Structure 1
Amino acid sequence: MLIKPVPSAKAPLDLLLEADPSVDKIRRYLENSSCYVATIGNKTVGAYVIQPIMDGVFELMNIAVAPAHQGKGIGAKLLEHAVKKARELGAGRLELGTGTFGYQLAFYQRAGFRAVAVERDHFLTHYDEPIYENGIQYKDRLRLALEF
């Protein structure tokens, strides 16, 4: 597997929609972000987007793996790459926002991310359509951070 940068204009929107259902939000944050894709052969199997948000702090805006390739460690390798890239770019902290339950929360916690804040009603006020996982509606967003 190869992970390489791509221009934001060539970001795999269909793949990024796996992690964030808002095309408008993705397009907005891509403007000021760096996008990296994971490929196997000539097939894109994953991607992530990071963005500087303040001096020494980056945010992981999106990380996604194609459904057919999930459960194979690609997401963990992408996250490891994102942490390494943020460090290389001078960050001392990588932040992200995720739902308050579900697989994603455990995924980030296994990588050492810790909760730093709860944004109440984030998914209710920032998305036009409700977002569900396992029949439970996302309401609040949990902010996580990894210090290095």
Structure 2
Amino acid sequence: MEKFNFNKINSGSEIPYDLLLLADETVEAIDKYIFNCDIYLLQDKLLDIAVMALYPNSSTELEIKNIAVLENYRSQGIGGLLIDKAKQIAKEGGFKTLTVGTSDTGFQQIKFYEKNGFLKKGMRKDFFIDNYPFPIYENGLQMHDMLILAHDLSE
């Protein structure tokens, strides 16, 4: 992490939609949550290479609403660094659980979260049908349900 800068952006700062759109389909979908999130950027020199948006669902649960890494920087451990930062932020904020939702067709993402200590916790049925104006496909399958994964921070 020493070669990168990790910072929370100020509420008046421009929202990094270009990065957020790597993990979400539309600006409209992002706008449903982003204004209630703390947004963090990871920079390599002056280039924004990754983003993470965190939302407090309750006094005990912090949710990763969006996490994305520029394609050229993937498979270098940056996603894991962001997850570690999210765990640290959540613990410092007094949260007991860190959660994340992803499509049940996002096999690579599910494996990534499980590798980083998350366990399957629940499902939001028809989330992608109800919240997007058009069908979305991943791994050749239409996305229907959101899988919820959780990490217990007391470990």
**What range describes the TM-score normalised by the shorter chain of this pair?**
over 0.9
**In the alignment, which residue of structure 2 is the partner of 1:128?**
133
Provide the C-alpha distance between the structure 2 equivalents of 1:59 and 1:68, rounded to a whole number of angstroms: 26
Q: How does 1:38-57 map to 2 (within 5 A)?
A: 38-57=42-61
Aligned: 1:3 with 2:1: no
Root-mean-square deviation (CA, aligned residues, Å) is 1.2
Deviation, 1:11, is 2.7
Q: Which stretch has the larger CA shift, 56-65 or 120-129?
A: 120-129
For 1:145, the aligned partner's letter is: A
Deviation, 1:10, is 2.2
Provide the C-alpha distance between the structure 2 equivalents of 1:129 and 1:55, rounded to a whole number of angstroms: 34
Give the length in aligned residue pairs: 148
State the secondary structure of the residue aligned to 1:10.
Answer: coil
Which of 63, 66, 81 does residue 59 from structure 1 map onto? 63
For 1:21, the aligned partner's letter is: E
State the secondary structure of the residue aligned to 2:102.
Answer: strand
State the secondary structure of the residue aligned to 1:54.
Answer: coil
Provide the C-alpha distance between the structure 2 equivalents of 1:120 and 1:28, rounded to a whole number of angstroms: 18
- Percent identical pairs in the alignment equals 33
Deviation, 1:58, is 0.8
**In the alignment, which residue of structure 1 is the partner of 2:112?**
107
Under a length normalisation based on structure 1, what TM-score does the superposition of the two structures give? 0.94
Provide the C-alpha distance between the structure 2 equivalents of 1:100 and 1:56, rounded to a whole number of angstroms: 25
For 2:10, the aligned partner's letter is: P
Give ranges in structure 1 of 5+ residues lacking alignment. none
Under a length normalisation based on structure 2, what TM-score does the superposition of the two structures give? 0.90
Deviation, 1:120, is 1.6
**In the alignment, which residue of structure 1 is the partner of 2:146?**
141
State the secondary structure of the residue aligned to 2:36.
Answer: coil
Deviation, 1:28, is 2.8
Q: How does 1:54-93 map to 2 (within 5 A)?
A: 54-93=58-97
Q: Which runs of 4+ in 1 moved over 2 A?
A: 7-11
Query: Retained in 1: the 8 A contact 2:29–2:131?
Result: no
Provide the C-alpha distance between the structure 2 equivalents of 1:127 and 1:7, rounded to a whole number of angstroms: 28
